[in-house]
Every structure is written in C-alpha cells, then in structure tokens.
Structure 1
Amino acid sequence: MDDDGEAAAVRSARPREVLRQPAFALFWSAGSLRALGTAISGVAFNVLVVSVLHATTFQISILSALSVVPYLFLGLIIGALMDRRRRQRTLVLTSIGRAIALAAVPVLILTGTLSFWSVAVVTLALGILVLFADSAAQPLLPRIVPRESLVMANARLGQSETVAGTAGPALGGVLLSVLGTPLLFAFDAALTAVSTVLQSRIKVDEPAPAPRAPGRHIGHDIAEGMRYTYRHRTLRPLALSIHTWFLGNSIVTTVFAVFVLRQLELRPWEYGVALAFGGVGGFLGALVAPRLGARLGAGHAIFLARALAVMPWLVLALTPVTATGHGIILVTVIAAAQFVYGLAMGIEDPNDTGYRQSVAPDGIQGRMNSTIRTVNRVVFFFGALLAGLLATTLGYRLTIGVGAAIFAVAALIVVFSPLYSAQHAQRPPEA
C-alpha cells in the first residue's frame, strides 16, 4: 500500500465526531439538559431542606440515604429488567416521571402542604427514576453509536456533565434569587420535559428482547449477570479495580472538606476555587480520553488514570497539618491536587465505560453495568463509614494516606491482569 492509501486507511478507521450523528446528538442533548437541571435544582433542594423546612441533621442524613437506597435494594433487579425491556422507552417514561415529581414540589409549596416527609417521598421517587434512567442509558448507548466511537461518546457525555456540575450550582444560585424556589423547580421540570421530547426522537434499532426460558425468573437473570461479570477475563479485574477505586474515593472525599477547611484552614472561597480546578481537570481529561484510549489501548489508559489518582492524595497526605490556610502556595497545592484528580477521572471514565460497553453482548449489558454500579454503591457506603473510624483513630492526614494506598491497589489490579493489555473493541462481541 502506498503512503496515500495508508493515510486514507488510517482516516477511515478513525471514528468520526459522535455529535455529528443525529441519534447521539439527541441522546447527548437530553443528558446534558438533565445534568444541568439536576445541578440547578440541587441548590433549591438544599435551600428548601435547610432554610424552609429547617430540617435537623438527622433528617438531612435520611434524605441523603434515600438518594442511595434505590441502588442498594433495586440496582440488580432494575439492571436485569433492562435486558428484558426496550431501553429508549424506559428513558422516555422515566423522564416523564421525573418531570412530574419535580413539578409536584412547587405545587406542595404553593398549597402549603410541603413537609419533610413529602420531600422525602419526592427524593425517593427521583432516586428510583434516576436509577431506571441510568440503567437504561448505559446499555442503550452501544445501540446508538458504533463500538469504535463509544469512548468518544462517553467522553462527550462526561464533558457536559462536568460543565453542568461546575456551572450549574452557580447558575442555580442566581436563578434562585431571581425566580424563587417554586419557579426554580418548575424550571427544572421544564428542562426535563424538553429532554423527554429529545429522547423520544432518537432513532435506534432495538430488537425485542428474547423471552425468559420456562422455569427461569429474574433471580436467574441477576445471577447470570454477576457470573458473566466476575468470570470474564478482563471485566473481572476491571470490576475489582473499580470497586477498589470506589473504596478509596469514599474515604478521601468523606474527609477532604473537613481536612482542608478545619486543619489546613482554607477559607470557603479558597475551597470553592480548589473544587473548580477539579472540574477543569475533569473536562480536560474527558477531552483527551478518546485519543489516549486509541493510542495506548483501553488497559493502559485505565492504568494511567488509576496511577494518576494516587498522586494528589499522596501529596495532601504529606501536607503539614501545621500549615495555615491563607498562603497562596497551600491553595495552589490543593487546587493542583484537585485538578490532577479530576484529570484522572476524566481520562478513566470514558475508557472504562466505553470498554465494558464494547466487550459485553447486548443481551447482558444491563446486568453487567448494574452489577458493577450496585457493588460500587455498597462499597462507597461502607467506605464512608470506615473513613469516619479512620479519621477518629488515625487523624485526617493518615486517613487520606490510606485512601492513596487504596488507589494504588486499584492501579496494581489493572497492571497485573489481562486487562492491562486490552484494546478497545472495534466490532460487536459474540453473544
């Protein structure tokens, strides 16, 4: 092959920009609106619970738990259902339900019937609906874009979520002061309604799921999904590495705010700046993730991200606790640490998610994803409790050091497994 022919072959093999594909453009737009609305209404929820309902610390903890409970008790079940249901239809129906739940809040406020328990019901309903939506979206994506474009597609989704998570709270604060709490929830409901319309217009080929064999029930489906995930040559180490990462993440994120605000004495605005740098790192990481995945391969890119995650927390663990929070050097160190951590997550997530979406057959996508996601939530829940115990007995700095060591273990799981040499799949796997 001459040079021109070789260059043409390389260009043809390179995945084209996924936002130019109409189905993904609709999928991405709907997801971006949902992420923005969630970030905006999150501000209103906090104000509603703290300033309007004057909820106690215990009541606030109940609301936080209700947002996680659906994953713990329904994650595996809903994941199995997504392998027996049309996923696009599920996305549309859950978006309708979410719009109704959000619209109920201003109705409760204006009619004077708002109470802690009514907010708790709305929170639980939204948690279940989001679980359905997430369980449908991940296995639907490989039906929307080619397998070789999955990393880029997940990167684009990650970029919009990072922007929404960074800018959404600030925008929510402004809108809250202009519109007030009821109209802000109505605004989020309207955004969700628009995303519903966009999702309904996605053209995707979804064959009818195969009926369950006689004598089988949903428990058999769940067990099959867990066996597939944890017996797969590369998905097993990937899942174990993710679970380990979630344990480290639960520990460091639980104590980070207290450590830098109380012991390192950062001012609140300095803390906010540091978190903003994390968002910038996440955006840039998602921007370069497709190129790194293509150049290094899935396993090497995931390992790189896992290794990067160790560095910022190791640096913070070695930061002297006697340092004051008003020096520009200290603020720079903490902001840089958050930037690197965000960069690592931005690189890892598209390559991680894109790889498992590309290697698993369509008929087990929902169960594979829900198995990993549910175990992650369980690990995070107990990791947060462990963080409190470690911080009490070892102190914040050593606790963060433990988290850094756990991140290192997550990286080692990748490098000493077949996953390390894995490449991104270029064609659908055999069923």
Structure 2
Amino acid sequence: MRDVAARPGSGDGDRPREVLRVRAFALFWSATTIRAFGGSIAGVAFQILIVTVITASPFEIGVLSALSVVPYLFLGLIVGALMDRWKRQRTLMVTSIGRAVVLGIVPILLLLDALDFWSLAAVILLLGILTLFADSAAQPLLPHIVPRSSLVMANARLGQSETVAGTAGPALGGALLNLVGAPILFAFDAAINAVSAVLQSRIEVDEAVPSPRAHGRHIGHDIVEGMRFTYRHRTLRPLALSVHIWFLGNSIVATVFAVFVLRELNLEPWAFGLALAFGGFGGFLGALLAPALGRRLGAGRAILLGRMLVIVPWAAMAVAPISASSDLALLLPLISAAQFVYGLAMGIEDANDIGYRQAVAPDAIQGRMNSTIRTMNRVIFFFGALLAGSLATFFGYPLTLGVAAIIFTAAASVVGFSSLRSARHDDLEGLES
C-alpha cells in the first residue's frame, strides 16, 4: 500500500528545511502553541476551582480527573475513523471555536455563583471531547502541511513549544489567577482559543476526498481496518507495542513520583517545582536534538535511544540510598537529574516516533492508525495507574519505580529486537504495509 503522491515533497531528493519558514506550518504551529499555553493556564485554574470553589471531596476529584480520559476510552476509535472521512482542517477550526464557547461559559457560571460539581464536570467532559477531536485531526493533517522529509522537524518544533507551555503555563496561570481572578482568566483563555481558530482558518491545505464506503460497510469496518493495518504492519506493529508498554511504565511513574518525592522524601514544594523545571528543559533539549538524531541514526535507532534513556532515571531512583532524612543537597540534584533525563528521552523519541508514523501510513488511514495507538495507550495508562497504587501500597515507592524501569526496558527491547530498529525516515519501503 503506497501513498507517495498524496504527500507534498515525498520524494527521496527532498532536504529538510526549517519548517517555520513554511507559511502553512507557521500558522499551524502558532495556533497549536497558543492553544497549549491556554490549556496549561486553564489547567491550573481548574485545579484551584475544584479545591477552593466547589470544595470537591477526594472521590469527586477522582471523578473529575477521570472525565478527561473517558472520551478517549469510549470515543477514541470512532473519532479516529471519522477523521479519515471528515475535513481535518475544518475539524480543528470547529473544535477551537467550541473550546472558546465552553471556556466562556465558566466565567458566567462564576459570576452567577452557579458553578458546582455537576456543571464543572460537564465543562471538563465537553473540553475532553473537543480535545479528542482536535488531537485526532491534528496528527493526520500535519503531513498535508509539510513535506514528508520535514515531519520530524515539524513534530520537534511542536514538541518544543508544548514543553515550554507545559513548564511556563502553570506558573503563568497561577500568577494571572492572583492578579485578575478566575472569571477574567477563563475569559482570556476563551479568547486564546478564538485566536487559535482564526489562525487555523488561514491555513491553505488540500485534503483528498475519501472514497465512499462500499455497500454493506459501516464505521465498525473502518475501525477494524485501521487496527489491522496498525498491528499487521512490519514496523508499525513493534512501534505500537513498544509505545503501549512505555505507557504502562509511564502510568506508574506519573502516579507515584510526586507522592514519593513530596510525602515520602519530604521534598519542599519549591524544590519539587525546580526539579520539574529541569524536566521541561530536558524535553526542550531533546526535541531540539531529535531531527539531527533521526537523520544520523535513523528513525528506529533514535526511538530506541529515547526508550533506553528513560530507563536510567527510574532505575536510579529505585536503588538510590535516599529517604526523608537525606540532605537536600543530595535529594535535589538527584531528582532534578532524573527529571532532566526523563524529559530528554521523551523529547528525542516523541518527534521521531510521531514523525515516522505520519510518514509510513497512507493518508486514507492516518486517523485510524493514530487513534488506535492513542486509545490503547490511554486504556493502558488508566489501568496502569490503578496498578501503581497497589504496588506502592504493598511494596513501597522505590520498588514500584524499579518495576517501572523494568517495564521501560521491555519497551526498549521490543524496538531493539524488531525490524523497527533499522527503519529510517527516508526509507520509502516503510510506505508498504
């Protein structure tokens, strides 16, 4: 199965160039970046509202947290199939407008003193559904905006801006919340999404019209076809399995790391924030290095490098002789270094992973391929988080982080012992299923 002609610049002679000089990508990047900043700012505001305004119980907090994942669990595969038949550019515009409207409702509810658990739950659920549609449209749209040879660089630029947004956004959101209050902050975030919709609308892109379904076929057949393509493909299968295993390990560290550091090791909140900032810097640097590493090592070995690097910080945290009585001069450098390497690994592998997926899959199945991988990742993350709680309860935090390091090792092994290891971004054989 080939889709060479469907992509601009898909020939061997292409040379990667700075994608921000491509007008369509510059607009796409700008819209995505300001939306990411808005999401990070709103994330802090939502957390504060949950604790201070509606005074949610621990059970209610858990429900609100789960609502952001629920759309992926129940709609992920369906939306992915729709994205292979709908206009992805139009979907991104509509979802940005939808987010602006939903976020604009929050200040009205606050001013009317009508914000309660149920209304906030409805807002979070609607935002989760809109984000699902936006994510499902963005990844398959990108190969229409930049040449195939520039996909890794494009994903690296997106990763860099999202890392900065994820690092600086919460601090900015906390400061703005204190300065202007929650109603104005949410109105500001609604305006950001409106601007994002305007930027998105200015992108000129040609999207192929999908062929009509054969008689007797329905969306279920489309979903199955996407899953078969993903898990039968020579290089996509090990890529998907590896990232699924990686998500299991990541669900464990994401669940227990903060509790271990803040509660078990008694690290001060300011020191914890500083360590997370090192993770953001590592992620930015990894995304900066990702295109060059992908060209020099090839896609498979660059992904393998990232998978191997991520083992190091959690294995070190598992065996390091640290406790609540450890000196801050030991704890802070260790935890900061662990976060830096963790971020560096993700920055390197994300751009190469996503770029390779986008290059290897035909346009007609991009939405389903991405949604298959993304939905399975979130299902695994959901159950992995539950597993992490049980492991930490019965075996303690260091051993739980050690289990995560073993799982990350398994994820790297899938890449290292499969045909994916020798895959390259410029290898047109990867376009064959």
The equivalent of 1:181 in structure 2 is 182
Partner of 1:87: 88
CA distance in structure 1 between the aligned counterparts of 2:267 and 2:111, rounded to whole angstroms: 40
Aligned counterparts of 1:259 and 1:376: Cα–Cα separation in 2 = 24
Please give the residue correspondences for 1:370-409 in structure 2 after superposition, counting only pairs within 5 Å.
370-409=371-410
Q: Deviations over 1:59-81 (max 9, x none)?
A: 11111011000000000000000
Give the counterpart letter for 2:35 in structure 1.
Answer: R
> Which residue pairs with 1:51 in the alignment?
52
> What pairs with 1:296-375 in structure 2 (closer than 5 Å)?
296-322=297-323, 324-375=325-376
The amino acid across from 2:306 in the alignment is: A
Report how far residue 247 of structure 1 moved: 0.3
Matched AA of 2:263: R
State the Cα distance separating 1:115 from its structure 2 match.
1.4
| 1:200-349 pair list within 5 angstroms | 200-322=201-323, 324-349=325-350
Q: What amino acid is aligned across from residue 286 of structure 1 in structure 2?
A: A
Offset of 1:326 from its aligned partner? 3.9
On the 8 A contact 2:245/2:407 being kept in 1, the answer is: yes
Equivalent position SS for 1:30: helix
Name whichever of 258-267 and 210-219 sits farther off.
Answer: 258-267
SS of the aligned residue for 2:69 comes to helix
2:303–2:348 contact (8 Å) kept in structure 1: yes
Runs of 4+ aligned residues of structure 1 deviating over 4 Å after TM superposition are none
In 2, the alpha carbon distance for the partners of 1:368 and 1:129 equals: 19
Query: AA paired with 2:135?
Result: D
- The 2-side partners of 1:72 and 1:137 are apart by 19
Give the gaps of 5 or more residues in structure 1: 1-11
Q: Distance in 2 between matches of 1:208 and 1:422?
A: 30
Taking the aligned partners of 1:55 and 1:263, their CA distance within structure 2 comes to: 25
Change (3 A) 1:429 1:234: closer
Work out whether residues 285 and 347 of structure 1, in 8 Å CA contact, stay in contact via their aligned partners in 2. Answer: yes
For residues 103-145 of structure 1, the C-alpha deviation after alignment (integer angstroms, 9 at most, x for no partner) is 0001111122221101100100000000000000000000100
Q: Deviations over 1:373-414 (max 9, x none)?
A: 000000000000001111111111000000000000000000
Name the SS for the 2:128 alignment partner: helix
C-alpha separation in 1, matches of 2:402 and 2:209: 50
Shift of residue 425, structure 1, vs aligned partner: 3.6
CA distance in 2, matches of 1:109, 1:409: 48
> Which has the larger displacement, 257-266 or 118-127?
257-266
> Normalization by structure 2: what TM-score?
0.95
| Contact 2:279-2:344 at 8 Å conserved across structures | yes
Using the TM superposition, give the Cα deviation of residue 321 of structure 1 relative to its aligned residue in structure 2, in angstroms.
4.1
Counterparts of 1:169 and 1:385, CA distance in 2:
26
Letter in 2 for 1:201: R
Q: 1:426 to 1:153 in 2, by over 3 A?
A: farther
The whole-number CA distance in structure 1 between the counterparts of 2:119 and 2:390 is 33
SS in 1 for 2:208: coil
**Matched AA of 1:342:** G
Task: Quote the Cα distance in structure 2 between the aligned partners of 1:130 and 1:389.
Answer: 30
Structure 2: distance between partners of 1:253 and 1:48:
23
Q: Secondary structure at the match of 2:68?
A: helix
- Aligned partner of 2:410: which letter? V
8 Å CA contact 1:138, 1:369 repeated in 2: yes
Moved more, 419-428 or 107-116: 419-428
5 Å matches for 1:106-145? 106-145=107-146
For 2:165, the equivalent position in structure 1 comes to 164
**Contact 1:266–1:325 (CA<8 Å) still a contact in 2?**
no
Partner-residue secondary structure (3-state), 2:342: helix
User: Counterpart of 1:103?
Assistant: 104
Letter of the aligned partner of 2:318 in structure 1? A
Q: Which residue of 2 aligns with 1:191?
A: 192
Separation in structure 1 between the aligned mates of residue 320 and residue 395 of structure 2, nearest angstrom: 15
- Aligned-pair distance for 1:324? 2.7
Shift of 1:262: 2.1
Mark the CA change 1:299 to 1:220 in structure 2 (over 3 Å): closer, same or farther.
same
Greater Cα offset, 167-176 or 261-270:
261-270
Maintained 8 Å contact 1:225/1:367: yes
Match in the other structure for 2:147:
146
Distance (Å, rounded) in 2 between the aligned partners of 1:154 and 1:380: 23
- Shift in Å, 1:178: 1.3
Query: What residue in structure 2 maps to residue 9 of structure 1?
Result: none
Query: 1:27 and 1:45 mapped to 2: Cα distance?
Result: 26
- Mapped partners of 1:276, 1:326: distance in 2: 20
SS for the counterpart of 1:91 is helix
Q: Percent identity?
A: 70
State how many pairs are aligned: 420
**Contact 2:322 2:331 (8 Å CA) reproduced:** no
**Whole-Å Cα distance in 2 between the matches of residues 213 and 325 of structure 1?**
66
SS of match in other structure, 1:16: coil
Q: Which residue of 2 aligns with 1:4?
A: none
Provide the C-alpha distance between the structure 1 equivalents of 2:281 and 2:58, rounded to a whole number of angstroms.
32
Amino acid at match of 1:145: V
Give the 3-state SS of the residue equivalent to 2:204 in structure 1. Answer: coil
* Structure 1 residues 316 and 429, CA gap change in structure 2 (3 angstroms): same
The equivalent of 2:6 in structure 1 is none
Pairwise CA RMSD of aligned residues? 1.3
Tell me the equivalent position of 1:421. Answer: 422
